[in-house]
């Protein structure tokens, strides 16, 4: 297939089919002798997880696992994971799974022995400097979906169960020391997860591309990431064992997370509160609101989207691009609107307030206000 490489941007990435076999060796490279594999409940009983534990055990690293991770992980999940980590005398985290498991694995590694609480490390200003960097455990990330890109990010999303707010927790040392991207691990994903995670990768690339902030490197990565998703997601969805399409989607997911250093926008600031309140799948929620947010931002992004459409081989400029997104959503079985996901009109005021508090707001091309954000939610409903 030829899609095998070693990259060190933004961290060491071992990319290629079958490379999960290197997990034990890479744990030793970063100094782990007794790692804790953190995954989610759904993955805990699957063969790919047993395979990863077998590889760790064969390398003399034990087979310890924590899997009490919700779809939208909370500080209660983190507290439970920390208890297991400390009781087992672990010295590193293998974060194994989709975005939820990757994010929670990072939170456990971060909070092993901190002088402050996790909410004191929210991604606001220089709050990350409150952490003691010397106590952060090493992390190896192994994504089993192609969507969030958390495997190449310096943050994790944690839901505050008291307020139902999703908060981004940031520290530079949350960047995994090594990431193993093995597309074979994604072959068994249910179709709706392939669709939702793939649309999450597209949302990251699209919002980064449209963000008004200056970051030409991320801008270029975002454009090529969009191309990889649009060409390969329909293939991966229709033919789950198409390893070339799966590999390209895994690359696009990592590219999306690298790109959104440039910023995210209204797609994420709407989907974060909806996910926190209704426990919807994050990437699927992004896909639902995507066409409405494009229309909302049209006056600021039309010329930019025209250029992207030309590069992507989509005729008709902005309107052709939106039509392409709508057709892709239909082909992937994405719900038509938030109402179809169970969102209630009576909750829109509260969701609007939560959206305006979300840090993604700052990267939207058009300034988000209480009035226009409420109207955007109505358009999505």
In this structure, are 83 and 60 located in the same domain? yes
Per-residue pLDDT, 4: 83
Tokens of 266: 């209204």
Q: Is the Cβ–Cβ distance between 360 and 268 less than 8 Å?
A: yes
In this structure, are 296 and 248 located in the same domain? yes
Tell me the percentage of the chain whose pLDDT exceeds 70.
Answer: 99
CATH of residue 267: 1.20.1090.10
Q: What is the average pLDDT across 350-362?
A: 95
Residue 165 has pLDDT above 90, yes or no: no
In this structure, are 142 and 211 located in the same domain? no
Residue 183 has pLDDT above 80, yes or no: yes
Residue 1 has pLDDT above 80, yes or no: no
Residue 117 has pLDDT above 90, yes or no: yes
A 10 A CB-CB count for 241 gives 10
Q: How confident is the model at residue 275 (pLDDT cuts 50, 70, 90)?
A: very high
Residue 156 has pLDDT above 90, yes or no: yes
Per-residue pLDDT, 298: 98
Per-residue pLDDT, 378: 98
Q: Three-class SS of residue 135? A: helix
Q: Three-class SS of residue 190? A: coil
User: How many separate domains does the chain show?
Assistant: 2
Among the candidates 167, 185, 203, a domain finishes at 185
Per-residue pLDDT, 6: 75
Cα–Cα nearest to 53, from 45, 65, 67: 65
Among the candidates 185, 203, 228, a domain finishes at 185
In this structure, are 254 and 315 located in the same domain? yes
Per-residue pLDDT, 8: 64
Residue 351 has pLDDT above 70, yes or no: yes
Q: What is the average pLDDT across 226-244?
A: 98
Q: How confident is the model at residue 319 (pLDDT cuts 50, 70, 90)?
A: very high
Q: How confident is the model at residue 9 (pLDDT cuts 50, 70, 90)?
A: confident
Q: What is the DSSP string of 260-306?
A: GGG---HHHHHHHHHHHHH---HHHHHHHHHHHHHHHTHHHHHHHHH
* Residue-range definition of the domain harbouring residue 309: 191-380
Among the candidates 123, 158, 185, a domain finishes at 185
Tokens of 173: 């040392």
> Higher pLDDT residue, 277 or 6?
277
What are the CB-based long-range contacts (under 8 Å, 24+) for 161-164?
161/74, 161/75, 161/76, 164/273, 164/276, 164/277, 164/354
Tell me the percentage of the chain whose pLDDT exceeds 90.
Answer: 93
Per-residue pLDDT, 357: 94
Q: What is the average pLDDT across 37-51?
A: 96
Distance between CA atoms of 149 and 74, rounded to whole angstroms?
A: 19
Average pLDDT, the chain: 96
In this structure, are 209 and 138 located in the same domain? no
Q: What is the average pLDDT across 356-367?
A: 95
CATH of residue 44: 3.40.50.1970
């Amino acid at each position: 297939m030829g899609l095998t490489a070693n990259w060190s941007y933004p961290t060491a990435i071992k990319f290629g089919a079958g490379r999960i076999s290197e997990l034990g060796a890479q744990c030793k490279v970063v100094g782990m002798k007794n790692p804790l594999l953190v995954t989610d409940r759904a993955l805990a009983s699957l063969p790919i997880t047993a395979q990863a534990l077998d590889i760790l055990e064969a390398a003399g690293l034990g087979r310890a696992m924590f899997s009490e991770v919700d779809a939208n992980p909370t500080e209660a999940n983190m507290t439970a994971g920390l208890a297991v980590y400390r009781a087992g005398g672990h010295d590193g985290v293998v974060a194994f799974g989709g975005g939820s498991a990757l994010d929670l694995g990072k939170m456990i590694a971060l909070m092993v022995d901190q002088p402050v609480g996790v909410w004191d490390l929210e991604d606001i200003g220089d709050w990350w400097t409150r952490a003691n960097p010397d106590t952060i455990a090493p992390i190896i990330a192994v994504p089993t979906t192609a969507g969030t890109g958390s495997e190449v990010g310096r943050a994790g999303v944690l839901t505050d169960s008291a307020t139902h707010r999703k908060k981004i927790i940031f520290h530079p040392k949350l960047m995994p020391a090594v990431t193993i991207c093995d597309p074979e691990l994604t072959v068994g994903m249910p179709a709706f997860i392939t669709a939702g995670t793939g649309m999450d990768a597209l949302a990251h690339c699209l919002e980064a591309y449209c963000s008004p902030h200056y970051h030409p490197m991320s801008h270029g990565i975002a454009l090529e990431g969009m191309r990889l998703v649009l060409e390969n997601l329909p293939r991966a969805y229709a033919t789950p064992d198409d390893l070339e399409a799966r590999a390209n989607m895994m690359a696009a997911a990592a590219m999306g997370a690298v790109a959104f250093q440039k910023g995210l926008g209204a797609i994420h600031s709407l989907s974060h509160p909806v996910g926190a309140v209704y426990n919807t799948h994050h990437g699927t929620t992004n896909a639902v609101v995507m066409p409405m947010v494009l229309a909302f931002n049209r006056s600021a992004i039309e010329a930019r989207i025209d250029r992207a459409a030309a590069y992507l081989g989509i005729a008709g400029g902005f309107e052709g691009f939106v039509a392409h997104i709508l057709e892709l959503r239909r082909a992937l079985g994405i719900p038509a609107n938030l109402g179809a996901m169970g969102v209630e009109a009576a909750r829109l005021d509260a969701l609007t307030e939560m959206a305006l508090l979300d840090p993604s707001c700052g990267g939207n091309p058009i300034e988000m206000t209480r009035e226009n954000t409420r109207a955007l939610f109505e358009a999505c409903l």
